[in-house]
């Protein structure tokens, strides 16, 4: 990659001390919960990375580290070429908080219900000391127009409860963009919205992030959303990235048995299509005190002895993406083999 990535993380981990009192079965006392474990990736300027995986797999924890809301337990975080893993200086941190913005999942919680829209958008300008009084009003108008809330003046004095979910999510986006960030994290940006308006918000985000050359991370459990929005896709399972690469490769030619299962489970909008068989069993095991070897061993249809002994390393598959599975080599993958047997 020629250009410096905006985001580069190497071996990023976040471990929590697990309290276990709620679980009657436990006896061993406190354990370690590896919410995120040894995660590495880079996102070039203007690109977007989608992070998918089941609830609790560590998506939000990763995002929080990317926004420096969590200090990583280990690993490093380079932002725009600079190592900011241990950045603490107040001024620099403030500068980072301006450049890196978060878009919340629930627009109704993201905005103060007692603030008018104007006031909500003014807030970040004050915090980051941007513009004079007159300039600020102009910025706010511009920001609302940018997200297609036109005429902007009509929305200045409105309160959140007077607006629809789709409109509010546009305000939330406008508020993130008003400070001119270079990096945006959107955690389930449309999951609270109605289907008929989701597409509008997604298209808007797509156009704006392209036009502004924003580097973005989308977190969603909806793979079709990620396939629509992101150039790169990372699939997480119990704190680890198990497959990462170009969205086209990861979602059209998945190699990791977990990615394959996730994709098979997505219902198709075509009623005549036969549902694919989901081969995995059980549910996500507890992330506390994981066994040796592959985290997916107890659910995987292809587990062998080596999977219980050694943690699989990330390796490149012939389709381009990087996969952590002992059974995936450039010349071989289990799903293809199985399908051949079926035929």
Partner 1 sequence: MSLLEVNDLKIYYKTSRGISKAVDGVSFAVDQGRSLGLVGESGCGKSTLVKGIIRVLAGNGVIAGGSVNFDGNDLTKMAESHIRQVRWKDLSLIPQAAMDSLNPVYPVIDSFLEILMLKGKLSRADAIQRAQELFTMVGLDTKRLRYYPHEFSGGMKQRAMIALALALSPKLVIADEPVTALDVIVQNQVLRVLKNLKKELGLTLVMITHDISVVAETCDDVAVMYAGKIIELGPVSRVLKHSMHPYTMGLANAFPNLKKTESTLISIEGSPPDLVDPPKGCRFAARCPFQIEACAHEEPSLVSVGDRHFAACHRLDEIAVLQAKAKEVDTWRKIPS
- The contact set with ligand ADP (CB under 6 A) reads 16, 33, 35, 55-61, 287
Q: For residues 287 and 31, give the distance between their C-alpha atoms in angstroms, rounded to a whole number.
A: 10
Q: DSSP string spanning 75-129? A: EEEEETTEE-TT---HHHHHHHHHHEEEE-S-HHHHS-TTS-HHHHHHHHHHHTT
Under the binding rule (CB under 6 A), the answer on residue 47 touching ligand SF4 is no
Residue 303 contact among partner 1, ligand ADP, ligand SF4, none, beta carbon within 5 to 8 Å by kind:
ligand SF4
**Which residues partner with 241 through β-bridges?**
236
Distance CA 234, CA 243 (A): 6
Cβ-based burial of 63 (10 A; exposed 0-12, middle 13-18, buried ≥19)? buried
Query: Quick check: 302 binds ligand SF4 (CB under 6 A)?
Result: yes
Residue 325 CB coordination number (10 Å): 25
To 5 degrees, how large is the angle CA 145–CA 161–CA 126?
55
Which of ligand SF4, ligand ADP, partner 1, none does 121 bind, CB closer than 5 to 8 A by kind?
none
Query: Rounded to the nearest whole angstrom, what is the least distance from the CB of residue 220 to partner 1 in the complex?
Result: 10
Q: In the complex with partner 1, which residue's Cβ is closer, 29 or 271?
A: 271
The verdict on whether omega for the bond into residue 181 sits within 30 degrees of 0, i.e. cis, is: no
Least distance to partner 1 from the beta carbon of 52, Å? 9
Q: Considering the rule CB under 5 A, would residue 146 count as an interface residue with Mg ion? A: no
Tell me which of partner 1, ligand SF4, Mg ion, none is bound by residue 194, counting a contact when its beta carbon lies within the kind-specific cut-off of 5 to 8 angstroms.
Answer: partner 1
Tell me if 55 contacts partner 1 by CB under 8 A: yes
Residue 141 binds which entry of Mg ion, ligand SF4, partner 1, none, CB below 5-8 Å type-dependent: none
Q: Which of 50, 47, 42, 40 is nearest to 5 (CA)?
A: 42
Dmax over CA atoms of the chain, in Å, equals 71
Q: What is the four-CA torsion angle of 124, 115, 147, 229, rounded to 10 degrees?
A: 80
Name which of 60 and 232 has its Cβ closer to Mg ion: 60
CB of 64 to ligand SF4, least distance (A): 27
Q: Residue 257 interacts with ligand SF4 (CB under 6 A)?
A: yes
Contact 140, 155 (CB under 8 A): no
Binding flag, residue 266, partner 1 (CB under 8 A):
yes
Contacting residue, 17, 133, 267, 340, with partner 1 by CB under 8 A: 267
Among 32, 69, 130, 278, binds partner 1 (CB under 8 A): 278
Give 125 or 238: the residue with its C-beta nearer to partner 1: 238
Q: Does 38 bind partner 1 (CB under 8 A)?
A: no
The CA distance from 99 to 79, in Å, is: 10
Answer with the entry of Mg ion, ligand ADP, ligand SF4, none that 16 interacts with (C-beta below 5 to 8 A by kind).
ligand ADP
Residues that bind ligand SF4 (CB under 6 A): 257, 294, 296-297, 300, 302-303, 307, 312, 325-327
């Amino acid at each position: 990659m020629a250009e410096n990535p905006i985001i580069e993380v190497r071996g990023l981990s976040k471990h929590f001390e697990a309290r276990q009192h709620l679980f009657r079965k436990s006896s061993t006392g406190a354990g370690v919960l590896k919410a995120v474990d040894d995660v590495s990736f880079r996102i070039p300027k203007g690109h977007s990375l989608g992070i998918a995986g089941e609830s609790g797999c560590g998506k939000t924890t990763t995002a929080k580290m990317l926004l420096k809301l969590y200090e990583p337990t280990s690993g490093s975080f380079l932002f725009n070429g600079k190592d900011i893993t241990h950045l603490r200086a107040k001024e620099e941190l403030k500068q980072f908080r301006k450049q890196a913005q978060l878009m919340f999942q629930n627009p109704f919680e993201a905005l103060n219900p007692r603030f008018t829209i104007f006031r909500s958008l003014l807030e970040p300008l004050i915090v980051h000391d941007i513009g004079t009084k007159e300039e600020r009003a102009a910025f706010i108008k511009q920001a609302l127009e940018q997200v297609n809330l036109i005429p902007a003046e009509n929305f200045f004095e409105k309160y959140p409860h007077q607006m629809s979910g789709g409109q509010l999510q546009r305000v939330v986006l406008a508020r993130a963009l008003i400070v001119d960030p270079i990096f945006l994290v959107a955690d389930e940006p449309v999951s609270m919205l109605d289907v008929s308006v989701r597409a509008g918000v997604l298209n808007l985000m797509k156009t704006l992030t392209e036009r502004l050359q924003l580097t973005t991370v989308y977190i969603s459990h909806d793979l079709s959303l990620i396939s629509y929005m992101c150039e790169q896709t990372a699939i997480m399972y119990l704190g680890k990235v198990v497959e990462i690469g170009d969205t086209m490769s990861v979602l059209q030619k998945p190699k990791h048995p977990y990615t394959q299962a996730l994709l098979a489970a997505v219902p198709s909008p075509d009623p005549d299509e036969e549902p694919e068989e989901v081969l995995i069993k059980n549910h996500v095991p507890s992330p506390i005190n994981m066994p040796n070897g592959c985290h997916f061993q107890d659910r995987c249809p292809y587990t062998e002895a080596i999977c219980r002994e050694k943690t699989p390393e990330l390796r490149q598959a012939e389709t381009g993406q990087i996969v952590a599975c002992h059974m995936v080599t450039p010349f071989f993958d289990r799903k293809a083999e199985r399908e051949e047997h079926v035929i």
